Amino acid sequence: MTETIQLGDVVIAVTRKAVKHVYLSVHPPAGHVTLVAPAGTRLEVARAYAVTRLEWIRSQQAKLQAQARETPRQYIERESHYLWGRRYLLSVVEVDAKPAVKLDHRRITLSVRPGSSLVKREEILSEWHRELLHAAVPELIRQWEGKLGVTVTGYFLQRMKTKWGGCSHRTGNIRLNTELVKKPRDLLEYVVVHELLHLLEPTHSERFVALLERHYPRWREARAELNELPLAAERWNEG
């Protein structure tokens, strides 16, 4: 069961799990706060701990508020778009033919029918993003299944508002945020490894951290880089 602590304007979601230490986290993009405490911890004790970390919480939230945020894309000529961590200029070609996307070393060319709407252009580019991820993800899964000794039942691509990935320990499925196509490829790999490790340890316990340290030693740097990159514009559709 999740309870909440309120310290001024800071709301903290508290859960109790089979962990030895308290884990306090501030999550992008909005800066919501979670506190995981050992089973049996009284709410008053968790609150006292949170009070000692209030200054740190506020500083982390301030960093997220100051973080670069993409403006909503208009899908027009010479607009900036990101792919695998690199910036490209968009070129829009109106032609009476099936829509298509082409990539060269500096430009993304979007071919659309004359008079196509912003929504339609977004759909075409989003589908292309999914194709790129479907081309990259299976090999990463195969590679890390062998290294970690796990089996993935399936993976799903989903646009998520607050998470880069997710894992169902029970079904063996993982979910990946489609926004990862905009980030450097090594960060996609980090998220894949993170979610596959949840097949071995479903919670963010000390054992999970130890597994990350063993198999992906630069995980802290990857996580920090992922959370410092520009956030997507807030035009989300939950799915």
Can you give the pLDDT of all 239 residues of the chain as single tens digits?
Answer: 789 999 999 999 999 988 888 989 988 777 889 999 999 999 999 999 999 999 999 988 887 776 656 677 899 999 999 999 899 999 999 999 999 999 998 999 999 999 999 999 999 999 999 999 999 999 999 999 999 999 999 999 998 877 899 999 899 999 999 999 999 999 999 999 999 999 999 988 889 999 999 999 999 889 888 877 655 544 332 22
CB atoms near residue 139 (< 10 Å): 9
User: What pLDDT does residue 238 have?
Assistant: 26
- Domain positions in the chain: 3-66, 117-228
Q: Are strands 32-38 and 10-17 parallel, antiparallel or unpaired?
A: parallel
Helix (H) or strand (E) holding 18, with range, is none
Contact, 183 vs 163, CB < 8 A?
Answer: no
Alpha carbon of residue 62 to chain centroid = 19
User: What pLDDT does residue 68 have?
Assistant: 57
Number of H helices, E strands in the chain: 6, 11
Look at the domain 117-228 and name its fold: Zincin-like (3.30.2010)
Q: How many residues does the chain have?
A: 239
Alpha carbon of residue 169 to chain centroid = 18
φ/ψ of residue 179, rounded to 5: -65, -15
Tokens of 47: 């609150």
Q: Which parts of 117-217 fold into alpha helices (H)? A: 118-148, 185-197, 206-215
pTM of the model: 0.72
Q: Are strands 80-83 and 154-158 parallel, antiparallel or unpaired?
A: unpaired
